[in-house]
Chain A
Amino acid sequence: GDSVTQMEGPVTLSEEAFLTINCTYTATGYPSLFWYVQYPGEGLQLLLKATKADDKGSNKGFEATYRKETTSFHLEKGSVQVSDSAVYFCALSDPTGGGNKLTFGTGTQLKVEL
């Protein structure tokens, strides 16, 4: 079945450091890929998405490129801020199974310090 694997956290960075959170996936069809962010005490917010191979999703300085050859969708940001501290989830949506079901990774906690 479908699965998503992302690097374990917590990831602790200093403000203005470069961020990479790795994500790889397994899917039977041609999935869409997503990054969601969860701030403490809140639900998930869509950060960015890519719907086909070589697409780049971007939002708020975050980027991720859909790499079919390596089945990856790594999240990057050039300069993190304290306000980026949150849990980040990589997810896929495989329309083969019908509906709009998301399969999530286990999440990576990011802590940004001054």
Chain B
Amino acid sequence: ETGVTQSPTHLIKTRGQQVTLRCSSQSGHNTVSWYQQALGQGPQFIFQYYREEENGRGNFPPRFSGLQFPNYSSELNVNALELDDSALYLCASSHGAENSPLHFGNGTRLTVT
């Protein structure tokens, strides 16, 4: 069983640039969620995709957007990067049923300078 994989593992961008982070969900999972984890903090929910449709969004501005593909992999796009966007971005997949366990990837560490 292949787990959740994220790429790249580390990324450095300049303020104002755009970034795309990628996630391959665990085999058999049809739901993908994205979380932002600032240093020393708990993960904060960004949004969730179920069968290619956004299915819940946290308190993040529209410059955070996403996609889910037919194979259930996903992308997180962030436009007009700000210094405060520096964080670990975690992707998690699940079966999609309520309260089904989330399986997390190891994350992408984004640094904005």
- A106 lies within 8 A of B43 (CB): no
The number of inter-chain residue pairs (CB within 8 angstroms) is: 69
Interface extent on A, as a size class? 20 to 34
Q: Are A101 and B45 in contact (CB under 8 A)?
A: yes
Q: Is the CB of A95 within 8 A of B98?
A: yes
Which size bracket describes the interface of B in this complex? 20 to 34
Contact present for B42 and A105 (CB under 8 Å): yes
Q: Interface with A: B13-21, B60-68, B104-112, which one?
A: B104-112
Contact among A103, A106, A107 with B45 in the assembled complex (CB-CB below 8 Å): A103
Instruction: State whether A98 and B55 are in contact (beta carbons under 8 Å apart), knowing that A43-B90, A46-B102, A51-B99 are contacts in the complex.
Output: yes
Interfacial residues of chain B within 56-102, with CB under 8 A of chain A in the complex: 56, 58, 90, 92, 94, 96-102
Known A-B contacts A32-B99, A42-B106, A51-B99; A104 and B42 likewise in contact (beta carbons under 8 Å): yes
**CB pair A100 B102 closer than 8 Å:** yes
Interface residue A111 (Cβ < 8 Å from any Cβ of B): no
Is B2 positioned at the interface, with any CB of A under 8 Å from its CB? no
Q: Contact between B99 and A93 (Cβ–Cβ < 8 Å)?
A: yes
The 5 lowest CB-CB distance pairs between A and B, nearest first, are A104-B42, A99-B56, A43-B104, A44-B104, A43-B106
Q: Residues on A close to B: CB < 8 A?
A: 4, 32, 36, 41-46, 49, 51, 89, 91, 93, 95, 97-107
